[in-house]
Amino acid sequence: MESRPTTPFPLPGLDDLWAAASRIRPHVHRTPLLRSRWLEEVCGCEVHLKPENLQRAGAFKIRGAINALLCAQARGELGPAGVLTYSSGNHGQAVALAARILGVSAVVVVPEDITRVKRAAIEGLGARVVACGFTSEDRHRGALEIARESRAHIIPPYDHPDIIAGQGTLALEALEDLPGAEAVVVPVGGGGLLAGVSIGIKSLRPEIRVIGAEPASANDTALSLQAGRRVQTPPSKSVADGLRALTPGELTFEAIRRHVDNVLCVDDDEILAAQQNLLEREKLLVEPSGAVAAAVCARHISRAKTVRVRARAVIVVLSGGNAELPLAGGRVR
């Protein structure tokens, strides 16, 4: 798949991130930075967690969703059919919440194997759920078919400047709280969060390293960076269900290509171990997708010379906390 852009939208800049931050402030939590004793013991450096699992709707996604809906409302794009999106879960919850805040209806196209907790949360926020296939492409095609009939306004999960700008507000908060950071580790699926955070970080502090964190079995962004163009990978069964995109978005990949220093991968066992350590050591419930950046930090980042990234102060983004707990024993998922 070639990387030539086909979208008419430009990448957002720092001014767009600041405007988004002002726009969404009444509707989102300003999550804190929390020191991680577990990761500091493992890495030998200062590690600060950005716990977006404590965000409204349980994930960072509300930042982009509410920004996109507010922008669409200001442009007069929200009609009586409301909004429509396609999501593995967290973006769907965020759009459902944003739609409820604005008083419009919402439909969310989800995979047939969506976790019970994510589907229940979307429906609990008042959105209608439609199951369609198993991949992000399946959901996208299903959403387009519904939109043609209903004329609902589509809110994409990541590849749109309003979504990217909203997600990038996380970087503004993190740098305000820790201006001395030397690296920021961010999970990547379709790339909206990594794109927005990298734009914010590199615009304000270009010397800070921005590291993407990806499951080894869903490494489309890492492979795309290596190839210098967007590539497509086979469907993945990674436990990090929110990061199973088959290819990066067009806009998001352009931002990542320009601003991200590296994308590092970890396997599912490392992801589950990080999820368990975050729960047991830090008392933070995160889903597997939300633990990937912590797993990358544990494996690849230290003050030592033997790792991929050397840093003295690191920010690790925990992207979401919509996890299913086991009935008895075992690992959280």
Query: Which residues of the chain carry a pLDDT beneath 70?
Result: 1-8, 303-307, 326-333
Give the H/E segment covering residue 62: helix 61-74
Q: Given this model, what pLDDT does residue 2 score?
A: 30
Fold agreement (14-59+161-318, 61-154): yes
DSSP labels, 76-137: T---TT-EEEE-SSHHHHHHHHHHHHHT--EEEEE-TT--HHHHHHHHHTTPEEEE--SSHH
Q: Given this model, what pLDDT does residue 301 score?
A: 87
Q: Given this model, what pLDDT does residue 316 score?
A: 98
Structure tokens at 254: 């352009």
Q: Given this model, what pLDDT does residue 8 score?
A: 54
The per-residue b/e assignment along 123-154, b for 16 or more CB within 10 angstroms, e otherwise, is eebebebbbbbbbbebbbebbeebbeeeebbb
Around 208, how many Cα atoms within 13 Å sit in the side-chain half-sphere? 25
Q: From 3.40.50.10310, 3.10.129.10, 3.40.50.1100, 3.40.50.150, which CATH number describes the 14-59+161-318 domain?
A: 3.40.50.1100
Structure tokens at 240: 């990090």
Beta strands in the chain (DSSP E): 34-35, 46-51, 83-86, 106-110, 128-131, 153-154, 183-187, 209-215, 262-266, 301-302, 309-310, 313-318
Contact 46/314 with Cβ under 8 angstroms?
Answer: yes
Map residue 266 onto helix, strand or coil. Answer: strand
Structure tokens at 109: 């196209």
Contact 316/292 with Cβ under 8 angstroms?
Answer: no
Domain over 61-154 is classified CATH 3.30.160.100: no
* Residues 6+ positions from 3 with CB-CB distance below 8 Å: 224, 228, 229, 230, 250, 253, 254, 257
* Residues 6+ positions from 304 with CB-CB distance below 8 Å: 44, 310
Q: Given this model, what pLDDT does residue 332 score?
A: 64
Q: Judge whether 305 counts as a catalytic residue.
A: no
Q: Given this model, what pLDDT does residue 304 score?
A: 62
Please state the pTM of the whole predicted model. Answer: 0.92
Q: Given this model, what pLDDT does residue 6 score?
A: 45
Q: Given this model, what pLDDT does residue 1 score?
A: 30
Structure tokens at 142: 């299903």
Please report, for the chain, the start and end positions of each structural domain, with discontinuous segments joined by +. Answer: 14-59+161-318, 61-154
Q: Judge whether 22 counts as a catalytic residue.
A: no
Q: Given this model, what pLDDT does residue 5 score?
A: 39
Q: Which of 36, 50, 61, 202 is catalytic?
A: 61
Q: Given this model, what pLDDT does residue 209 score?
A: 96
Q: Which of 105, 289, 302, 319 is catalytic?
A: 319
